[in-house]
Amino acid sequence: MASVVMGMINLLKPPGPTSHDMVNWIRRLLGIKRVGHLGTLDPGAAGVLPLCVGSATRLSEYMSEWDKQYRAEMLLGIKTDSQDLMGKIIEINQKACQVTEAQIKNVLEQMVGVYEQVPPMVSAVKHQGRRLYQLAREGKIVERKSRTVRIQKLKIQRINYTSFMTMPNCPRVLFDITVSKGTYIRTLCADVGEKLGCGGTMAFLVRTRCGPLTLERAWTCEEIEAAWNRADMSFLLSPQMGISDWPVWVVRPEALIGVENGASLGSECFLNSEVKAVQPGTRGFLQMPGGELVAVGLMKENRQGHLYCQPEKVLVSRNALIR
């Protein structure tokens, strides 16, 4: 059964395990090695963790630019070495007790748009071939280059003032945020705290959406395991749903065998008559007449002006193509 498993899983990651832990868990459960995730979630974070399974891992590069949506809580007046409450508290600043709601809203509004963000030391970003978190565990701090990120939307849900450790009126800010790939929400919390002059850290994080995958439709580990044990594969989504705006081109049965070898396919190789009108440079899915996904193809034009499709990523075996 594992040999034919291909698709995507909208996994609801619980707080605690790493994203790689969840990949390994799916590998063991399904008995398949080819599993990867799209977008790391910190161990303490929960929410949508998209997984590509089987040959669907070959499609991950086409989904790497998905934007992401989160619900987060920020504590002002607290600094930690990891920029969240999973780390060690290194400063408590009582000035935060005097920060007003108007000041908080003003700074958060300033964060919307493009800004330069320096990745935290406790992160999976690489420095000279090593992960930053590995260096952080050794007590090392290295200079990191800033990266351009985009805050698309930010909406404050509520601002409360509650006691936290030695702070009688610690501001706690709950907000929803939509960001570009590579944005660290805990770093944003730390940056907001710096702008307010009191420091800040992230208290919790839930990813509510990653591309088209939403929290409402995510599967828990328990639900996936129970479904697998009763041979119910409904948790496995078509890889096409991750790139739903691509066209689908149906390959004639006699032309399928050439797909595995990367042979170019002329318009006569397809059952879709509209293929002849596709613009060069258009990327789409190649399917068998029965609906099975075969490959990703790119439409090109030869020197004579004739349109042809070049398979880019073949997703099935030779046996599947000739059966």
Which residues are annotated as catalytic? 42
What are the distances in angstroms from CA 79 to CA 89, 96, 98, 101, 140?
6, 11, 17, 20, 18
Give the E-state strand segments of the chain in sequence order.
7-13, 35-37, 46-53, 68-76, 78-80, 89-92, 113-117, 126-127, 130-131, 147-164, 167-179, 200-210, 213-214, 236-237, 248-250, 265-266, 283-287, 293-301, 307-314
Measure the CA–CA gap between 75 and 92, rounded to whole angstroms: 11
Measure the CA–CA gap between 302 and 272, rounded to whole angstroms: 20
**Residues whose CB falls within 8 Å of the CB of residue 173, separated by 6 or more in sequence, listed in order:** 73, 74, 76, 104, 108, 156, 158, 159
